[in-house]
Structure 1
Amino acid sequence: MSELPVGRPAQTFAEAEDALLSRWPETKLEPSLDRIRAFTEMLGDPQHAYSVIHLTGTNGKTSTSRMIDTLLRALELRTGRFTSPHVERMSERITIDGEPLSDEAFVDAFNEIAPYLHLVDVDQPHPLSFFETVVGMAYAKFAEAPVDVAIVEVGMGGSWDATNVADGAVAVVTPISIDHVQYLGGTPAAIAVEKAGIIKAGAVAVLAEQPDEALEVLLARASEVGATVVREGVDFGVVARTPAVGGQIVTLKGLRTTYDDVFLPLYGAHQAQNAVVALAAVEAFVGGEEPLGDEIVRNALAEVTSPGRLEIVRRSPTIVLDTAHNPHGAEATAAALEDSFSFSPLVGVIGVMGDKDAEGVLAAFEPHLEHLVVTENSTDRAMRASRLAEVAIPIFGEDRVTVVPRLADAIDAAAALAESGSGDSLSSGAVLVTGSVVTVGEARVLLGGVK
């Protein structure tokens, strides 16, 4: 891949995508805000043209972002949302009023910022990365729209994440657990130090339930900068939840009032937690003493979608996609499967990235899977299926592991196992495809997606 020559605009989505992907990948990090600051200054600091709700945490960021977006639009605010990584298409990362940029709008957004890339590159020790460039695109596009509020998810960490040139009026911290150890550290406290960097002076910090050592770091940061803190389990929380057809019924205690028996079309206790964190974030953003309104909250949450998060994409047999890629996420997904479904047998198709805790992910799923098909996605970062099998066999036993490197063939093999294992009319076999956002995205494309 090669970057477009300076001065030549991209003509197509593929050209814009190619130019972006030719830059430093998301996995190559040099912890500094110098490049993104230089870039956004050249763009006129668009990130200061609207209010920002900034999210960090280990798991749940994208689902929570989508819920915040839906609630804000129900309040008739114009929204921009930046999330990463994408499931199927790069344009999913930048949405206006809940809709991803069209191919044409994405190309236009790239061409608007492209003339400045070379200017930053030649003036900095390192060139702008892919992620920094897309963040600049998003901030510029939100200012152009213009949006009333941007919901911005960090890429990794917080303090030196490229998104952190924006100052969130509300800083949301979803549950912190161990991930990206090589960049963020190996303890919740070390990881929390980086993530706490999005909490700015005068902001409201909305904290999901956290490990004690992470909470201590977050509270210290809030105190240091004079931010107000609201905490799950203290100021807001999930009062009750009951699995239901197509999702769950939840009772949520917000900052102002309690919303009883609200339908949430997503599965699992973790999504109920994401919903109440989103509710508190929006209440904190709006301010005042008045509740949001029962009908507004009820209608908004009933519309929420989160592609690739316990998403059913096919029946006969049922195929479920989930982006769990670390042990904490895998445990939440496994609990939700037990809570909301009665699949028998459940066959796993798992493909992970080479830098992830594959053993931890597999161990979380082992009690819930009858059989495991190990596979790999198409990226260079993917752990090879043969290597994943070496990790899986001591956990599952040799008889329960099948190696099928090509993802499409792995899904077919798992579907056949699920169907053959459904021995009577009362049981229903299913396939769970998981282990990585990329694996799920590629599976979603293979299975025709769900719009």
Structure 2
Amino acid sequence: MRPKPVQATGPGARPADFPSLAEARAWLDGHVNLEATAGDVDGLTIAPMRELLAALGDPQADYPAVHITGTNGKGSVAALIAALAGAWGMSVGVYSSPHVERINERMTVGGDPIDDAELAELLGHLRLVEDHLVAGGGPRPSWFELVTAAALRWFADAAVDLAVVEVGKLGRYDATNVVNSEVAVITNIGRDHTDGRPGWEEEVMGEKAGILHPGATAVLGPMDSDLVAIAAEESPGELLVAGRQFELEEDRPAVGGRLITVRTPRARYDDVYVSLFGAHQGQNAATAIAAFESLVDQELDESVLGAMGDVAVPARFEVVSRQPLVVIDGAHNPDGLAAASATLADEFSVLGTVTWVVGMMSDKDPDAMLGAMAASGARCDLVVGCAPDWPRALPAAEVVAAARGRGIDAEAVDDVAEAVERALALSTEEDAVIITGSLYTAGAARLHMTAANK
């Protein structure tokens, strides 16, 4: 049950409920949003988040969690673990970020996002709790802290058996690092949100390893032994590392996805079908299998593994059209763009031209992003640079300048929807349009194509 709301009193008292989700969002958007600004990570603490949850009745204590961090692959691993858990018979809540189209997507139970009315109610409750905490001298919560608290409270109200929780940007000091994690996953360590100075990998790993709590199983994707040693310093209950305790033995393309063979401490799973494109998804699936197998402490049967053949993750090499081929992928760093590009080159035969619609954040190096694309072997006949409607968006002209600097034909169309229309207008049935660079770009494109019924 949801705890009794804190009652606002006095001349400034306000009702708990918002009349609509739009009004709740307006209130929420008045808070500091570290997803929309660069932010200063110095001096961060999760103590205010713990105080906020205590005022909500500590809902995170009501269910076990699988906690997931890493530079890339978090969303896919979360979706795959949730699918396995659902097939096992569990009621599963999933918390992910950022959303692709609507804020409701960030929290789902049984695959269904929270509805507008319930989310507005939760945010109304949080408004009263915030007023109470601030009146007592506490800090004002951030946008992400409030949304995370809403999700964790909703999962308790829904009485989920398991929460699968994706870290926002950090790890040790992320607002999500309050969950009751029985398994914690670090998918990989890549050069994102770093300055690239010597030792950056160890520094990033040190932050992400902060989600590995004593007693919990730690599951690590492929990484060097020195990074594994940093994880081990957190003293998790068990350490499972890709290539050691579990291994992706085979990973090959199949119609609509991959066929993989995975060895784990308990079994060898042959020819498991995964309905996601790209060789990187084979490793994500292996990591998900190892994590869920450890959670239930049993070998998984075919009926459970079969759930991996029905997983769909929006904006992760999502094919939305075939003639022309149109793919939406939220790759937001060089490693992600390299994976998307390799998937196109390896798994799709495009007879005509390939146009890339690219919009990214200002903390990205457009030359490095386009360089990763080129190194993959994927073709690029034209770049249409754009800028998603987000405070940290990189101007479209800078994307175009980087493309032209690499000898690629390019043009700027600032608005994402207009950029997509421009690319489609130039395409025939034998061509391909790849929309990428950021989940914000992917979300805007997805919304536009759904509205236009394309």
| TM-score when normalising by structure 2 | 0.90
Q: Residue 403 of structure 2: which of 381, 392, 411 is its match?
A: 392
Residue 349 of structure 1 is matched in structure 2 by: 357
Q: Residue 194 of structure 1: which of 204, 207, 215 is its match?
A: 207
Secondary structure of 2:222's match? coil
Following superposition, the deviation at residue 156 of structure 1 comes to 1.2
Secondary structure of 2:361's match? coil
Q: Residue 310 of structure 2: which of 303, 313, 320 is its match?
A: 303
Asked if the contact 2:17/2:124 (under 8 Å) is kept, the reply is: yes
Deviations along 1:118-177, whole A, 9 cap, x unmatched?
223344564200000011111111111111111111101211000112231101010111
Structure 1 window deviating more from structure 2 (260-269 vs 319-328): it is 260-269
Q: Residue 440 of structure 1: which of 432, 439, 442 is its match?
A: 442
Q: Hey, what's the Cα distance between the residues in 2 that align with 1:396 and 1:264?
A: 37
Secondary structure of 2:176's match? helix
State the AA in 1 paired with 2:450.
G
Residue 132 of structure 2 is matched in structure 1 by: 119
Residue 7 of structure 2 is matched in structure 1 by: none
Deviations along 1:175-211, whole A, 9 cap, x unmatched?
1111112699971111001000000011100011014
Q: Hey, what's the Cα distance between the residues in 2 that align with 1:99 and 1:309?
A: 19
Residue 268 of structure 1 is matched in structure 2 by: 278
Secondary structure of 1:418's match? coil
Asked if the contact 1:82/1:151 (under 8 Å) is kept, the reply is: yes
Q: Hey, what's the Cα distance between the residues in 2 that align with 1:178 and 1:5?
A: 47
Alignment of 1:6-405 (within 5 A): 6-27=14-35, 28-29=39-40, 31-123=44-136, 126-181=139-194, 187-221=200-234, 225-287=235-297, 290-298=298-306, 300-343=307-350, 344-366=352-374, 367-368=377-378, 369-397=380-408, 400-405=409-414
Secondary structure of 1:85's match? coil
Q: Hey, what's the Cα distance between the residues in 2 that align with 1:241 and 1:183?
A: 31
Deviations along 1:2-54, whole A, 9 cap, x unmatched?
xx984352111211222211111133355211211110111111111110111
Residue 413 of structure 1 is matched in structure 2 by: 422
Deviations along 1:254-278, whole A, 9 cap, x unmatched?
3321222222111011111111111
Asked if the contact 1:159/1:195 (under 8 Å) is kept, the reply is: yes
Identity, % of aligned positions = 35
Following superposition, the deviation at residue 380 of structure 1 comes to 2.0
How has the CA–CA distance of structure 1 residues 413 and 74 changed in structure 2, closer, same or farther, with 3 Å as cutoff? same
Following superposition, the deviation at residue 284 of structure 1 comes to 0.8
Q: Hey, what's the Cα distance between the residues in 1 that align with 2:322 and 2:259?
A: 23
Asked if the contact 1:72/1:79 (under 8 Å) is kept, the reply is: yes
**Which stretches in structure 1 are left out of the alignment for 5+ residues?**
423-427
Secondary structure of 2:450's match? coil
Q: Hey, what's the Cα distance between the residues in 2 that align with 1:184 and 1:409?
A: 38
Asked if the contact 2:212/2:236 (under 8 Å) is kept, the reply is: no
Following superposition, the deviation at residue 111 of structure 1 comes to 2.5
State the AA in 2 paired with 1:61.
K
Q: Hey, what's the Cα distance between the residues in 2 that align with 1:109 and 1:255?
A: 42
Structure 1 window deviating more from structure 2 (258-267 vs 76-85): it is 258-267
Secondary structure of 2:71's match? coil
Following superposition, the deviation at residue 436 of structure 1 comes to 0.3
Secondary structure of 1:447's match? helix
| TM-score when normalising by structure 1 | 0.91
Following superposition, the deviation at residue 418 of structure 1 comes to 3.2
Asked if the contact 1:346/1:432 (under 8 Å) is kept, the reply is: yes
How has the CA–CA distance of structure 1 residues 183 and 131 changed in structure 2, closer, same or farther, with 3 Å as cutoff? farther
State the AA in 1 paired with 2:217.
V
Pairwise CA RMSD = 2.1
How has the CA–CA distance of structure 1 residues 217 and 124 changed in structure 2, closer, same or farther, with 3 Å as cutoff? farther
Asked if the contact 1:36/1:162 (under 8 Å) is kept, the reply is: yes
Following superposition, the deviation at residue 416 of structure 1 comes to 3.2
Following superposition, the deviation at residue 251 of structure 1 comes to 1.8
Secondary structure of 1:80's match? strand
Greater share of helix: 1
Asked if the contact 2:93/2:110 (under 8 Å) is kept, the reply is: yes
